[in-house]
């Protein structure tokens, strides 16, 4: 009961907030934000790069605009086609492998295979469901800045889409990774609170604790598994937005360990390869409470 009251308070405090209370973006560091990595499938496609950078500039506008208004992207038929291919293929695997909460959340947010959803509409709906919201960003951000935004119940999201030559792959976050991977899970109040605790932690963490938080984020938000009605399901965005990782997670190639926070924060990972070890939580509430205690120890 006490817990419910605390959660309700946290939520109402954030549900009614306006974008005017967003913190300053000045401290945010960007990692070569307007440059594509050389191994990106679109790196030598001049037309793709121009389009990607244009969409990134809309995200930049969000920071510079005093009202922090999300600018919708007028996606081209080609971009819609890439989305349709990836979304349709992923959905087939997700029906078998994704957490029930995730599958329901996609419907609640109106995420469909036919069209790319706009951050503005998903952010509005998230606000109603869990007091979470989205803020557009041009690309990868330095870890502390990125995680700290979760303290404001805000997820930074890219708006551009991957290159047409490799619909199944992107080395950087794109709208598929955000909308099909991350965004649905924030409809769940326990998961939203858990994410916010990570954000609180990132703001006060020592560099060593920040590394631990990065691992916690990796093995939960990106690659988390959950036990539901005796079955193991996926809720991590890196799994849900990748056919290869999602299928691989349930094979003998992967050691699926019961979630143990101490062990998780000490497990290193390699982001450039398939994950050999994953952690299974017993519930989102457990994840939230364990993380709360951990952050309170900072
Ligand atoms: Fe991600």
- In terms of pLDDT, which residue wins out, 30 or 141? 141
Q: Tens of pLDDT along 139-190?
A: 888 888 899 999 999 999 999 999 999 988 888 899 999 999 999 999 999 9
- In terms of pLDDT, which residue wins out, 10 or 77? 77
Predicted confidence at residue 22, as pLDDT, reads: 64
Task: Please give the distance, rounded to the nearest whole angstrom, from the Cα atom of residue 83 to the centre of ligand 1.
Answer: 17
Predicted confidence at residue 23, as pLDDT, reads: 61
Look at residue 30 and give its three-state secondary structure: strand
Task: Please give the distance, rounded to the nearest whole angstrom, from the Cα atom of residue 148 to the centre of ligand 1.
Answer: 15
Predicted confidence at residue 40, as pLDDT, reads: 84
Listed range (36-45, 110-119, 164-173, 283-292) with the worst mean pLDDT: 36-45
Separation of alpha carbons 34 and 52, rounded Å:
9
Annotated catalytic residues are: 177, 182, 222, 241
Q: Locate 15 and state its tokens.
A: 């549900």
Task: Please give the distance, rounded to the nearest whole angstrom, from the Cα atom of residue 63 to the centre of ligand 1.
Answer: 21
Task: Please give the distance, rounded to the nearest whole angstrom, from the Cα atom of residue 212 to the centre of ligand 1.
Answer: 17
Does residue 224 carry a pLDDT above 80?
A: yes
Average pLDDT over residues 107-136: 96
Look at residue 45 and give its three-state secondary structure: coil
Q: Where are the alpha helices (DSSP H) in the chain?
A: 2-15, 46-64, 77-97, 100-108, 119-130, 143-148, 175-176, 189-204, 207-217, 237-240, 243-248, 261-264, 284-296
Q: Locate 251 and state its tokens.
A: 């094979």
- In terms of pLDDT, which residue wins out, 272 or 58? 58
Does residue 3 carry a pLDDT above 70?
A: no
- The DSSP line for 73-121 is P---HHHHHHHHHHHHHHHHHHHHHB-HHHHHHHHHTT--SSSPPPHHH
């Amino acid at each position: 009961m006490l817990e419910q009251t605390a959660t309700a308070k946290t939520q109402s405090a954030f549900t009614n907030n306006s974008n005017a209370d967003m913190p300053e973006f000045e401290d945010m560091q960007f990692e070569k934000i307007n440059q594509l990595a050389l191994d990106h499938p679109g790196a030598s496609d001049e037309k793709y790069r121009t389009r990607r950078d244009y969409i990134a500039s809309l995200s930049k506008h969000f920071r510079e605009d005093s009202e922090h208004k999300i600018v919708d992207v007028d996606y081209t038929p080609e971009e819609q086609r890439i989305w349709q291919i990836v979304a349709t293929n992923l959905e087939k695997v997700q029906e078998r492998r994704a957490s029930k909460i995730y599958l329901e959340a996609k419907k609640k947010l109106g995420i469909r295979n036919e069209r790319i959803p706009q951050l503005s509409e998903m952010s509005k709906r998230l606000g109603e469901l869990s007091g979470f919201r989205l803020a557009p960003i041009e690309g990868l951000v330095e870890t502390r800045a990125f995680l700290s935004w979760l303290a404001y119940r805000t997820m930074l999201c890219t708006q551009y889409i991957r290159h047409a030559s490799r619909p199944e792959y992107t080395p950087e976050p794109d709208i598929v990774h955000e909308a099909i991977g991350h965004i649905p899970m924030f409809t769940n109040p326990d998961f939203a609170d858990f994410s916010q605790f990570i954000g609180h932690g990132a703001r006060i963490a020592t560099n060593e604790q920040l590394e631990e938080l990065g691992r916690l984020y990796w093995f939960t938000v990106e690659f988390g598994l959950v036990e539901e009605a005796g079955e193991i399901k996926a809720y991590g965005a890196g799994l849900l937005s990748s056919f290869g990782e999602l299928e691989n997670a349930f094979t003998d190639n992967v050691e699926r360990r019961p979630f143990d926070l101490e062990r998780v924060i000490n497990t290193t990972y390699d982001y450039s390869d398939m994950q050999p070890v994953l952690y299974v939580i017993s519930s989102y509430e457990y994840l939230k409470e364990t993380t709360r205690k951990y952050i309170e120890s900072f």
